[in-house]
Chains A and B, each alone.
Chain A
Amino acid sequence: MRWAIVRFPGSNCDEDARFALKKAGMEAAFVWHTEKELKGFDGVFLPGGFSYGDYLRPGALAAKSPVMEAVRRFAEEGRYVIGVCNGFQVLTEAGILPGALLANLNLHFTCKEVGVRVERVDLPFTRLYGKGQVLRLPIAHAEGRYYADRETLARLEGEGLVVFRYAPLGGEEDYNPNGSLHDIAGIVNKRGNVLGMMPHPERAVDEVLGGTDGLPFFLGLAKEVAR
């Protein structure tokens, strides 16, 4: 499986994404945000970072860049689109996933490891996890508070589109790091091919990075293609 990792001005988790995809046995190449086509790729990865310096709103200007029309087509064609952190912000700003990411309630840029519970294991990204398993994944964001209006939230919950939720790692009460509604850390579209999440699985794929809980995420994707 060949992945396009889109680079916006300010992307900084692009190398991490490539490292993780390759480690799981997949191919990955960087694509500049001015490209209009994504030929020869099977999936798109929108990496974390600070596209356009988070000016206007995080992800807002990147969401209007030329490559995003191709990403939208990818999503509509049922091919895999993953947005992590700033990539998630780009997907919501582009309207490819519902909701928005607002400033963390505590107003801090929060960089730490958090507990992330896997709510669904029927997706390629999560098939190698156990249902309800709590992963230890890093977060690094200032605007990660998931927000959606009441109807959208009800639809997400009703259709089981919440894939990842913040959860206590060791019984702590303040486990929700940003004030996300319903503790939402990651969601998927109805078809199951577009995923957005604030925690960074690509930064937890090797012991030297401090953990490997993100590796099955990528191995599951690689397995999907092999099927």
Chain B
Amino acid sequence: MPRYQATLLIELKEGILDPQGRAVEGVLRDLGHPVEGVRVGKVLEVVFQEENLLKAEERAKALGQLLANPVMETWTLEALKEVP
């Protein structure tokens, strides 16, 4: 079976205060970068075997549902590719 790599981006929902992002933002400002805002998220790269690209996409989306907490986070399937 072909192997696929899914890249999942998990971020705090808009409107939820991200103190980690605020801390990074403060440091960047102190260094003289005129940043407007920073949000810190997570990238998960998951490798798995699946029959075809269509099924791989289904599985990648199921993994996104499983790994993000819908109370506070959103997830996006950033990329899905076949890997050797």
Instruction: Give chain A's interface residues, CB within 8 Å of chain B.
Output: 56-57, 60, 64, 92-93, 98-100, 102-107, 147-149, 179
Contacts and interface: CB of A to CB of B under 8 A. Distances in A.
B16 A147 contact: yes
Interface string B3-31: 00000000010001101100100000000
A147 B19 contact: no
B69 A100 contact: yes
A103 B69 contact: no
Interface residues on B, range: 10 to 19
Contact of B71 (A64, A99, A179): A99
B71 A60 contact: no
Contacts of A60: 67, 69
Interface of B: 12, 16-17, 19-20, 23, 42, 66-67, 69, 71-72
A57 B19 CA distance: 15
Given A100-B72, A107-B23, A56 B16 contact: no
Nearest to A105: B19
Nearest to A57: B69
**Chain A at the B interface: mostly helix, strand, loop or mixed?**
loop
B71 A100 contact: yes
Given A107-B23, A147-B72, A102 B16 contact: yes
A162 to B, nearest CB: 17
Q: Which of B23, B66, B71, B72 lies at the interface centre, i.e. has the most chain A CB atoms within 10 A of its CB?
A: B71
A147 B71 CA distance: 9
B72 to A, nearest CB: 4
Contacts of B20: 103, 107
Given A102-B16, A105-B17, A148 B23 contact: no
